[in-house]
A and B are shown apart, each in its own frame.
Chain A
């Protein structure tokens, strides 16, 4: 998807937070031995949840699934670019309609959103299993964390396909 100037949008900021900060740096960047040690030191779930930003970022990742398509859409530029300020509402609406149609037809954004939702659901289940294991003081917590990391990596891979700013069709 073409985003030649990486035009800023909220969706791109969310993408950065989820993909880089949470998935890559926190979940994939935390070794299973760190998790094991944290459990051996009898840290609470609240502690690990806060350290890995699990609940907060998971909520954001869920919100992001509804933001992906509109969030990167060039339609938002019609209300932001000053030359369009001179156009009537009806004209702007018509340009938006056409751009949206082209954006959806020419890009893989819908497909990425579908895959993102699938991988996020799998990650969510892995997080639930990890949390359950943590609360039960499961001695195999490292395996559950490895599963969680695999799911995080899959989601990260899907997010590689997202643009770095507003898409220009």
Chain B
């Protein structure tokens, strides 16, 4: 059973036996509801929900029982090697049980939590979880802003920055079906270092893309 697409009707829960701060904050920021006592799980969860759990062996048994009862809910163990691995073989697990790639104990910074989420719920979280961002495009944009104010920086002309930034612009625009009206500014093979009037035009164009991305994220 895969993670379902009816995300908007789900209630999302998490349980962390150690109340690890970064994990807790991450879940709370994304409107997950904390389950304080795992024994209440059967009262809280219904089919369609998703539960992330960092438990001890006893808790794992409770989760397994809940997964068997709510076959249309998904349960994710936040540990690489749950104790249950030692007493059950994988094939006997309910199909709606998942194990995340990163053990909760090693989720000691925010970056790791995001990676973990990317792996588990990639499809539905792609607009919510910060992805790897187009660094060359951001760098080029910041440089263009400075150049618009009169700074001249030619040292990066032969580093591939401008070509890569142009390609990243096109990729980001394509992802969002944005049509570039002036394609001479952003040719498909990437930019050369914009100069003169093109600096302001490029800044405006990139900014409009960034605003579009921001708007998509806020929706």
Contact = CB atoms under 8 A, between A and B. Distances in A.
Interface of A: 2-8, 13, 16-17, 20-21, 24-25, 74, 77-78, 81-84, 86-88, 91, 94-95, 98-99, 101-102, 165, 168-169
Interface stretch (B70-78, B95-103, B116-124, B149-157): B149-157
Contacts, number: 93
B4 to A, nearest CB: 25
Contact of A5 (B133, B151, B156, B161): B133
A95 B24 contact: no
For the complex of A and B, 10 pairs with smallest distance between CB atoms = A5-B133, A4-B213, A4-B210, A6-B130, A83-B139, A81-B139, A98-B146, A4-B214, A95-B146, A83-B161
Main secondary structure of the interface of A (DSSP, over half): helix
A58 B219 CA distance: 32
Q: Which bracket fits the contact residues of B?
A: 35 or more
A149 B88 CA distance: 48
A6 B145 CA distance: 19
Contact of B153 (A2, A20, A87, A99): A87
Contact of A17 (B21, B143, B159): B21
Contacts of B161: 83
A126 B117 CA distance: 38
A21 B210 contact: no
Contact of A95 (B111, B131, B142, B210): B142
B7 interface: no
Given A20-B29, A168-B142, 7 more contacts: A7-B133, A13-B22, A17-B21, A20-B25, A20-B28, A84-B139, A95-B143
8 contacts: A7-B133, A74-B142, A77-B138, A83-B156, A84-B139, A94-B151, A95-B146, A99-B145
Nearest to B161: A83
B211 A6 contact: no
B93 interface: no
Interface of B: 21-22, 24-26, 28-29, 110-111, 130-131, 133-136, 138-143, 145-146, 149, 151, 153, 155-156, 159, 161, 207, 210-211, 213-214, 217
A87 B156 contact: yes
A81 B24 contact: no
Given A6-B217, A81-B138, A98 B130 contact: no
A168 B138 contact: yes
Contacts of B29: 16, 20
B131 A5 contact: yes
